[in-house]
Amino acid sequence: MFDADKWQEIFETIGKNKLRTFLTGFSVFWGIFMLIILLGSGNGLRNGFEQEFKGDAINSIWVYQGQTTMPHKGLQPGRRIGFTDTDHEALAEGRVAGIEHLSSRLWLDNQDMVNGKLKGNFQLIACHNGQFYAENAEMVSGRFINETDSKERRKVVVLGEPIQKELFPNNDHLGKQLLVGGLAFTVIGSFIDKGGDNDMRRAYIPMTVGQTVFGSGRDVHAMSMLIGDATPEESLVIEQKIRDRLAALHNFSPEDKRAVWINNSTDQFMQVLNVLNAISLFVWIIGIGTIIAGIVGVGNIMMIVVKERTREIGIRKALGATPFSVVSLIIMEAIFITSIAGYLGLVAGVFTLEAVSGMIEGEGIFQNPEVDMTTAIIATLVLVVSGTLAGLFPALRAASISPIEALREE
């Protein structure tokens, strides 16, 4: 495969036309560079949005209190819809198929938490066991609240890991007493939440304890639940059944979307995923189009090269050069230019993405803009194929030149 004479000739040709070769190679370099940047940016958006959704279970539905905006059965709009244990029980009865791990949620504002000389002020939430699944949390130690804790009104508390480390730096928290809002609670576990530090700087207690100790009666602020492996279409059906059930309890129109706010993570995630897939497709189209433009430029330059070397090619053929030797010479030059320029574009693109990734701090909708190995391999294959195609047609034209006609060429 290695022919020293051919490579020497290729380098001589490139050396004689430095500017033309540079501009030709730059078009390929820029095409690959932009493809990598666009793909990496698309992945950065995807990673950012996926990180946002990791804060809660993707197959979850959250229901929040709202205010009516439509008249219904003689009742005027503007009524506030508040939840109580009755709403929780209505959904827990099983009349809405597909609901799993139902939990009510009661925000108890920030409370002072004290362990001896160590103290802090953190968010306190009362809930049922199902909240653990909806938050997509992970236990670091101990356990989460269970139904027995709620039924027996046990004064137990589960701490986010940052709180546990601040109040129990020796990691001796399990079974220890912690003053929460001036009352003694037993620490039964600590957790981490993929939603980030804000979601971990909170503590959970049983719903019944929160309602009793902090005087909220039977009120709850929101409800969460999982819906198993329901498809986006099935999740919308479940969502409407939930709205219908609550509408019957609170006497508002099932068409009134603001009477209760329902956050359907499954449907939202699929909508975002569809947008991201469309962006990825658009990026590939733009990137490949840019590469094609560069390859066309290489092809045009190689056609010019063939035109300039018509007499030379004719002499070669007159001296016995085979069509294959002529074709391979042109193709090798095209592949060499596109491969080197494309590889440099690939490296520059990856380096740029790494530099941008290093400058991103904290969490957001743009995270880890990177290109995986599969994409890099595909880009390399595109380079080789493109280089071959860029040189093929000029090479075939060169091979078809008649020695007699070539020698007549001025």
376-388 confidence digits (pLDDT tens): 667 667 766 766 6
User: How many of the other CB atoms lie within 10 Å of CB of 26?
Assistant: 16
Q: What are phi and psi of 88, to 5 degrees?
A: -60, -45
pLDDT at 321: 66
pLDDT at 234: 86
β-strands 118-127, 202-206 pairing:
parallel
For helices 232-250 and 85-92, what crossing angle results, to 10°? 130
What length does the chain have? 410
Token pair, residue 171, equals: 């990691």
Please report which confidence band the pLDDT of residue 292 belongs to, taking 50, 70 and 90 as the band edges. confident
Token pair, residue 30, equals: 């820029």
Q: Is the pLDDT of residue 190 over 90?
A: yes
DSSP H stretches of helix in 309-402: 310-318, 323-359, 373-399
Q: Is the pLDDT of residue 281 over 60?
A: yes
Contacts of 140 (CB under 8 A, 6+ apart): 161, 164, 189, 190, 191, 192
Closest among 113, 117, 127, 131 to 201, alpha carbons compared: 113
Q: How far apart are CA 105 and CA 93, in angstroms?
A: 18
Query: Which residue carries 């490949």 as its tokens?
Result: 288
Whether the Cβ atoms of residue 245 and residue 225 lie closer than 8 Å to each other: no
Cα angle for residues 79, 81, 87 (degrees, 5° grid): 150
Classify residue 75 by its DSSP letter: B
Least confident of 92-96, 131-135, 311-315: 311-315
Least confident of 67-76, 116-125, 382-391: 382-391
pLDDT at 260: 94
Query: Which residue carries 């880890």 as its tokens?
Result: 368
3-state secondary structure of 124: strand
3-state secondary structure of 273: helix
Classify residue 218 by its DSSP letter: T
Q: Which residues pair with 67 in a beta bridge?
A: 80
Q: How far apart are CA 292 and CA 281, in angstroms?
A: 16
Whether the Cβ atoms of residue 124 and residue 185 lie closer than 8 Å to each other: no
Q: What is the mean pLDDT of the chain?
A: 81
pLDDT at 157: 96
Mean pLDDT of 112-131: 93
pLDDT at 409: 53
pTM: 0.63
Mean pLDDT of 117-144: 91
pLDDT at 46: 72
Please, is 93 exposed, middle or buried when counting C-beta atoms within 10 Å of its C-beta (0-12, 13-18, 19+)?
exposed
Of the two residues 325 and 201, the one the predictor is more confident about is 201
DSSP H stretches of helix in 72-180: 85-92, 131-134, 147-151, 161-167
Q: Which residues pair with 203 in a beta bridge?
A: 124, 159
Whether the Cβ atoms of residue 298 and residue 334 lie closer than 8 Å to each other: yes
Q: Please give the helix or strand (H or E) that residue 64 lies within, else none.
A: strand 60-67
Q: Is the dihedral of CA 78, 79, 83, 86 positive or negative?
A: negative
pLDDT at 25: 76
Contacts of 396 (CB under 8 A, 6+ apart): 327
Highest mean pLDDT among 135-149, 280-294, 301-315, 330-344: 135-149
